Chain A
Amino acid sequence: MSSTSKRMRALVATGAIGTTMALVLAGCGARAGDDTAGAGSSAAASCVDTSGDTVKLGFLNSLTGGMAISEKTVSNVLHMATDEINADGGILGKKIEYVQEDGATDWPTFAEKTEKLLTQDCVAAIFGGWTSSSRKAVKPVVEKFNGLFFYPVQYEGLESSPNIYYTGATTNQQIIPAMDFLAAKGVKTLFLAGSDYVFPRTANAIIKLYAANLGIKIVGEEYVPLDKDDWTSQVAKIAAAKPDFIFNTINGSSNVGFIKAYYDAGLTPAKTPIISVSIAEEEAPAMGHEVTGHYASWNYFQSLKTDTNPEFIKNWKAYPNSSGVTSDPMEAAYISLYLYKALVEAAGSFDVNAVNAAAKSKTITFDAPEGKVTLDGENHHISKPGHIGRINADNQFDIVWASDKFIEPDPYLEGYDWFPADIRKQLTDAAG
Chain B
Amino acid sequence: MAPLLNGSAQGALLLLAALGLSLTFGQMGVINMAHGEFLMIGAFAAYLVQQVITASNLSIPVALPVAFVVAGLFGLVLEVTIIRWMYRRPLDTLLVTVGVGLILQQAALQIFPSQGVPVEKPRWLDGQLTILGYNWPLRQVFTILLATVCVAALSAWLKYTSFGRRIRATVHNRDLAETTGISTRSIDRLTFFVGSGLAGVAGVAASLIGGTNSQMGAQYIIPAFLVVAAGGIGQLKGTVIAAWAVGVALSFFAYWTTGSLAQVLAFILVIVFLQLRPQGLFTVRTRSLA
* A contacts, CB < 8 Å to B: 64-66, 68-70, 72-73, 196, 222-225, 227-234, 236-237, 239-240, 253-257, 260-261, 263-266, 282-283, 285-289, 323
Contacts and interface: CB of A to CB of B under 8 A. Distances in A.
Contacts of A234: 254, 259
Interface string B130-171: 000001011110000000000000000000000000000000
Contact of B263 (A228, A237, A261): A228
A232 B9 CA distance: 9
Contact of B215 (A73, A227, A236): A227
B209 A233 contact: no
Nearest to A229: B210
Interface string B22-46: 0000000000000000000000000
Contact of A288 (B2, B137, B138, B207): B207
Contact of B115 (A70, A227, A236, A261): A70
B6 interface: yes
Contacts of A256: 116, 118, 210-212
B116 A286 contact: yes
Interface stretch (B69-77, B85-93, B121-129, B177-185): B121-129
Contact of B109 (A64, A230, A232, A265): A64
A323 B119 CA distance: 18
A266 B210 contact: no
B119 A232 contact: no
Given A222-B259, A257-B209, A261-B209, 10 more contacts: A70-B115, A73-B115, A230-B209, A232-B137, A232-B140, A256-B118, A266-B127, A266-B135, A286-B113, A288-B119
22 contacts: A68-B109, A69-B115, A69-B214, A70-B114, A225-B259, A225-B260, A229-B206, A229-B209, A229-B210, A229-B211, A233-B251, A233-B259, A233-B262, A234-B254, A253-B213, A260-B121, A260-B208, A261-B209, A263-B126, A265-B137, A286-B117, A288-B121
B252 to A, nearest CB: 9
A227 B218 contact: yes
A231 B262 CA distance: 12
B255 A229 contact: no
Contact of A232 (B10, B127, B219): B10
B54 to A, nearest CB: 14
Contact of A223 (B9, B214, B255, B258): B258
B198 interface: no
A223 B139 CA distance: 23
Given A68-B109, A285-B118, A236 B140 contact: no
B121 A233 contact: no
Contacts of A66: 215
Interface of B: 2-3, 6-7, 9-10, 13, 106, 109, 113-121, 125-128, 135, 137-140, 206-216, 218-219, 250-251, 254-255, 258-260, 262-263
A340 to B, nearest CB: 26
- Residue from A233, A240, A253, A286 with most neighbouring chain B CB atoms (10 Å): A233
Contacts of B210: 229-230, 253-254, 256-257, 260
Contacts of A264: 121, 125, 137-140
Nearest to B125: A264
A77 to B, nearest CB: 14
B135 A239 contact: yes
Given A223-B258, A223-B260, A282-B115, A229 B121 contact: no
A198 to B, nearest CB: 14
Given A223-B258, A253-B210, A266-B128, A286 B115 contact: yes
A153 to B, nearest CB: 15
B75 to A, nearest CB: 23
A222 B125 CA distance: 26
Nearest to B252: A233
Contacts of A228: 219, 259, 263
Contacts of A236: 2-3, 6, 255
A7 B127 CA distance: 75
Nearest to B130: A266
| 5 closest cross-chain pairs (CB), A and B | A229-B210, A253-B211, A256-B211, A264-B137, A233-B254
Contacts of B138: 264
B114 A253 contact: no
A265 B7 CA distance: 14
A70 B214 CA distance: 13
Contacts of A323: 113, 115
Contacts of B250: 233
A148 B174 CA distance: 65
A307 to B, nearest CB: 29
A288 B259 contact: no
Contacts of A255: 211
B66 to A, nearest CB: 18
Contact of B118 (A229, A237, A287): A287
Contacts of B212: 256, 288
A147 to B, nearest CB: 28
B258 A222 contact: yes
Nearest to A324: B113
Contacts of A260: 121, 139, 208-210
Nearest to B134: A236
A303 B121 CA distance: 28
B114 to A, nearest CB: 5
B166 to A, nearest CB: 38
Contacts of B258: 196, 222-223
Contacts of A73: 114-115
B10 A230 contact: yes
- Residue from A64, A231, A234, A264 with most neighbouring chain B CB atoms (10 Å): A264
A289 B218 CA distance: 23
A239 B209 CA distance: 17
Contacts of A70: 114-115
B128 A69 contact: no
B259 A253 contact: no
A285 B211 CA distance: 12
Contacts of B126: 263
Contacts of B260: 196, 223-225
A72 B206 CA distance: 25
A286 B120 CA distance: 10
Contacts of A257: 209-211
